[in-house]
Amino acid sequence: MLGLIATRSISKEVSGIEDLVKDVELRIRFGLMAYEALEKIKVDRTDVMARAKLEATSGELGYALLLKKIRPDVLNATDAEIAQAAWSTVPPVSPLFWSFRIMVALGFFFIGLFATAFVLASRGRIASSRAFLWVALLALPTPWIAGELGWIVAEVGRQPWVIEG
């Protein structure tokens, strides 16, 4: 199912986190070439070689800027710093994992709660069912909790500060 969601195909491979990080490392290295070319153009606007190099690698320039969080002079970044910048694009997996599962569990709880309410109301016994009424009362904050968990999944999983494409 993930393959269908991620690649819109059932036959394409879904890359794992380590594969994605290796790809980002490579893109950072190309981005460094673009950044270096841009710095040369700042010094000499007529540098044809630097302009050609920038044009060839400009799509990856944003990846080089991921290094700015680690060091101010990105051109002198070490392999370890490039790896650190690449790993900074990975969202925190544990909060996403648990937020999503709790949100879905609450959704199933809501379905069960409303199905029970429907059955009890249809039989005219909803007012006399103390256990259901207590569960319904205690469940009042759960839609808000589910909504907040959905927000966590959307925002933490998306990481708007990560450059893509």
7 and 80: one domain?
A: yes
Examine the fold and report which residue of 71, 87, 103 is the final residue of a domain before the chain moves on. Answer: 87
SS3 content of the chain, % helix, strand, coil (to 5): 75, 0, 25
Q: Rounded distance, CA 51 to CA 47, Å?
A: 6
pLDDT in tens, the chain (165 residues): 777 877 788 888 877 888 889 999 999 999 999 999 999 999 999 999 999 999 999 889 889 999 999 998 999 999 999 999 999 888 888 998 999 999 999 999 999 999 999 999 999 999 999 999 999 999 999 999 999 999 999 888 776 555 555
**What is the reported pLDDT for 118?**
97
Q: What is the pLDDT of residue 29?
A: 94
What is the model's pTM?
Answer: 0.67
One domain, residues 25 and 51: yes
* Dist CA 65 CA 34 (whole Å): 10
Q: Is residue 56 part of a domain?
A: yes
Note whether 142 and 69 are same-domain residues: no
Last-in-domain residue among 87, 119, 136: 87
- Is 165 within a domain? no
**How many domains are there within the chain?**
2
Domain region containing 129: 93-158
pLDDT of residue 16: 81
Domain end call among 66, 87, 108: 87
69 & 119 share domain: no
Q: How far is CA 85 from CA 1, 88, 157, 160, in A?
A: 30, 5, 17, 15
Same domain assignment for residues 38 and 109? no
Together in a domain, 117 and 146: yes
Whether residue 65 contacts residue 77, with contact meaning beta carbons closer than 8 Å, is answered with no
In this structure, are 67 and 110 located in the same domain?
Answer: no
Same domain, residue pair 6 and 83: yes
The whole-number pLDDT of residue 128 equals 95
Question: Looking at the structure, do residues 29 and 77 belong to the same domain, yes or no?
Answer: yes
